[in-house]
Structures are given as C-alpha cells and as structure tokens.
Amino acid sequence: MEITTNRPDKLLPEVLKDALFGKQAHVSLERALDGLQWHQAGVEVPQYPHTIWQQLKHLNYWQDRFISRLEGMTVLPAKSSDEGWCFTKAPMDENEFRREVGKLLTGINYTAETILSDPAELSQQKGDYPHGFGVVQAMASHLSYHIGEIVLLRRMMGIWPPPSGGYSW
C-alpha cells in the first residue's frame, strides 16, 4: 500500500482504494481474469455451485446496490440470497463476457476515483450503513471474497496461474 499522506482524513480513503484494487494480500480483478477465455467462464466445476460467469454477474449485481447506496438512493433488502445468483451459467459470447467484466471494472474505478474523493460525504449515513466508508469496505470485502473464488475455480480447472503470473498459495 502506498500511503501518500500522513493526514488521517486521507488515510481511510487510500486504504479502501487499495482494497478495491486488490493491493497487498489480495488479487486484482484484472489479474484474476488474465488470460481467461470467455467460454471458460461458463465451465461448471464438479461440486462447486457457481461458474466464473455467475461470480461476475453476482459481483455486478451487488456492486450496483453498493454504489446506489453510496449515491444516496434507497436500496431495498434482497428477498433472498438467490436473488443475487439467478444468472445463466455461461455468457452467450465474448462480447457479453467483456461487457460484464468492463461493467465491474468501471464500478470499481468509479468508487475508487469518484466516491472515495469526498471523505466528508462518506462520513454520512448511507442507507442501512452508518456511513459510506462501511459501504465501500463491504464492497471491497465482497469483491475480494469472490475474486478468491474465481482464482480457486481457475486452479480447479487447471488454468491458474494466469499468463502474467500469480501466487499459488
């Protein structure tokens, strides 16, 4: 983590930004998906409940909800956990796969560069969260959790580490 300031009011946004981008102990989304072909995203791994494609769709579903809270919109509770998993097992084609990845990356960048640039606003309550920092922390933790699952799925499929390299522990 590169801390560029000693000011406490700047520290939390920088730490959360690092968490969103997978710095330090986590893998970034780009690294987790490096070299993954669109058709591999829909491969079902025995005894695993979701494909990589479903993980990506799930991440975007919840990312939209996190960002909506951060923007001050009312977000109704999900009726069940199934609501965030009701997606096809595979993308139709490479374009659909790339659009979904692009949407996820756009949301991460938007949160890191725009939302986190206003610490005063993030100190305010955001929906059912006591403050916006908590929303970003939940978003980063959720992202990290499922990126870990994507890496695990790739290992189980024999397509990890990616071409750019990656840790295997």
CATH number, domain with residue 62: 1.20.120.450
Residue 126's beta-bridge partner residues?
129
**Which phi and psi (to 5°) does residue 144 adopt?**
-60, -45
DSSP 126: B
Reading the block at residue 83, the tokens are: 């609501």
The pLDDT tens digits of the residues spanning 83-108 come to 999 999 999 999 999 999 999 999 99
Q: Which residues contact 64 (CB under 8 A, 6 or more apart)?
A: 107
Q: How confident is the model at residue 9 (pLDDT cuts 50, 70, 90)?
A: low
Q: Could you give the number of structural domains in the chain?
A: 1
Residue 54 Cα to chain centre, angstroms = 13
The pLDDT tens digits of the residues spanning 25-73 come to 788 999 999 999 999 999 999 999 999 999 999 999 999 999 999 999 9
The residue written with tokens 């490479």 in the block is: 94
* Domain contains 20: no
Specify whether the CB–CB gap between 168 and 160 falls below 8 A. Answer: yes
Give the start-end residues of each E strand in 14-138: none
Residue range of the domain that includes 82: 26-157
* Domain contains 31: yes
* Domain contains 146: yes
What pTM value is reported for the model? 0.92
